[in-house]
Amino acid sequence: MGYYFEGTLGIKFTPTTRPEDILNKFNSFLLMKGRPELNQILNQQVPLEVKTTLLVNILNQIRFLVIFDNFEDCLNEERNDIENLELKAFIQHLLNNTTRNTKFLITTRYDFDPLDGRLASGIEHISLPELHFPQTNWLMNNFTELADLGIQKKQKIYNVIGGHPWTIGQFAKHATVQGVDDLLLDLSPLKKSLLSLPCWTSLSPNWTKTLKNCSSSPQSTKKQFLLKHCHGLSAMKKMKVLLLEYLCKTSPMGSHFERTGVR
């Protein structure tokens, strides 16, 4: 990494993250890199735009990699835009005006466009595959309800629900109420969480009916459905595929979804 960048800064986002929090993170990072300019005005009574512009000027001079992690925590209920308008303006200022040297990497469980209009085409969207079991095991260790489970129990959970981070998180959440074993026997609470997602409720009645029918179909039929109906979907494509994957995995027949390489 050091061959390409002179430093890497990771910022973990939360629902309460505001521009001032991000500026403080950048300031600490830049001070370690011998750049005190932002620190000199950070606590002065100057507009946020002035501070942001100074930060952009610095970032354009040096090859940094800036990672905005867990960005989904800052999105609105529909998971398609930044909820806080001040934070949105700040992020767009950074991305629009940092045109040289520094690169930004945004990690999020929900695909969205951080920039508006024609500028959105300047952002590359990279879809990551579902986690394999070793990575899923590490993820499970972050949840109190799952961390102390034996490896065989974790493997059983993985075999049933797969390795999508959202599904693992929801499973852990419901396991606090029902317990792991009871939840494995009855996944209806997990299905209910999935069906309450805005992307599901916005589907047409025909889509909803077809997905539910597919969840109880033979494995070969599910694969044919994916190839036929998921090809060419636009904004909703990835979440619809996720919905179908989950329904297939948790069908009463107990069959496990097989990835088809649909993009």
The DSSP result for 63-124, as a single string, is -EEEEEESGGGGB-TTSSSBSSHHHHHHHHHHHHH--SS-EEEE--SS---SS-GGGGGGSP
In this model, does residue 93 exceed pLDDT 50? yes
Nearest Cα to Cα of residue 164 among 194, 185, 187, 184: 194
**Backbone φ, ψ for residue 123 (5° rounding):** -100, 125
**Per-residue tokens: 171:** 């499973």
Lowest mean pLDDT among 90-94, 123-127, 148-152, 181-185: 123-127
The overall average pLDDT reported for the chain is: 76
pLDDT confidence tier of residue 19, bands split at 50, 70 and 90:
very high
Average of per-residue pLDDT across 251-262: 32
* Distance in angstroms (rounded) separating the CA atoms of residues 121 and 98: 15
* Distance in angstroms (rounded) separating the CA atoms of residues 160 and 236: 25
* Distance in angstroms (rounded) separating the CA atoms of residues 166 and 147: 16
Q: What is the pLDDT of residues 199-254, one digit of tens each?
A: 555 555 665 555 555 544 444 444 455 444 444 444 344 444 545 554 444 433 23
**Per-residue tokens: 64:** 């940094």
Q: What is the pLDDT of residues 165-214, one digit of tens each?
A: 778 888 998 988 889 998 888 888 877 776 665 555 555 566 555 555 55
